[in-house]
Amino acid sequence: MLDKNVVELLNAQVNKEFYSAYLYLDFSNYYYDQGLDGFGNWYRIQAQEERDHAMLFVQYLQNNGERAELETVDKPGVELTSAKAVLEEGLKHEQYVTSLIHNIYDAAYSVKDFRTMQFLDWFVKEQGEEETNAEGLVKKFELFGDDPKSLYMLDNELGARVYSAPSLVL
């Protein structure tokens, strides 16, 4: 049986991951609206990944005899002011999600819940990659975003991203 506090945090994370999906879908819509279809594609896939993350938390709770309680998903609460600002908001959000994952890990660690720690290991690694990707996008935009030709090429590059299912299977 899982610790009550750990279950509550895992359950809250389901909502946070769905919120991330919602937020990134909003980012995607913003970019498509701006004519930056490659950025739109990149964030639409990002939204799919976040939905996958939510489903993994649901599945993990199920596998441990707990039923996920679905809460209201907030409206995306970030004002999208420019193509670059959106990328910066994306990085900030990933850093926030990392702190949430670390917080659950900490709770699991404190009650010697090794099973949940092992489950979360994948997410710890995943968050490292997410932050690196988000940082990379901000850097690339800083380098190339002001030049229309370079921005066009960067947009094409991001348009080539294809969805792949998460490597974690429960």
Please tell me whether residue 53 binds Mg ion under the rule CB under 5 A. yes
Rounded-to-integer distance, Cα 30 and Cα 99, Å: 26
CA dist 4 and 1 (Å) reads 9
- Interface stretch with Mg ion, choices 53-61, 86-94, 113-121, 150-158 (CB under 5 A): 53-61
CB of 166 to Mg ion, least distance (A): 10
65: alpha, beta or left, given left = phi > 0 and alpha = psi -120 to 50? Answer: left
Pick between residue 50 and residue 155 the one whose CB is nearest to Mg ion. 50
Number of chain residues interacting with Mg ion (CB under 5 A): 2
According to CB under 5 A, which residues from 12 to 41 bind Mg ion? none
Kindly tell me the burial class for residue 114, based on how many C-beta atoms sit within 10 Å of its own C-beta (0-12, 13-18, 19 or more): exposed
Residue 93 is a binding residue for Mg ion (CB under 5 A): no
Q: Which is nearer to Mg ion, 44 or 53 (CB)?
A: 53
Q: What does the longest C-alpha to C-alpha distance in the chain come to?
A: 57
Give the residue closest to Mg ion by C-beta. Answer: 53
Per CB under 5 A, residues contacting Mg ion are 50, 53
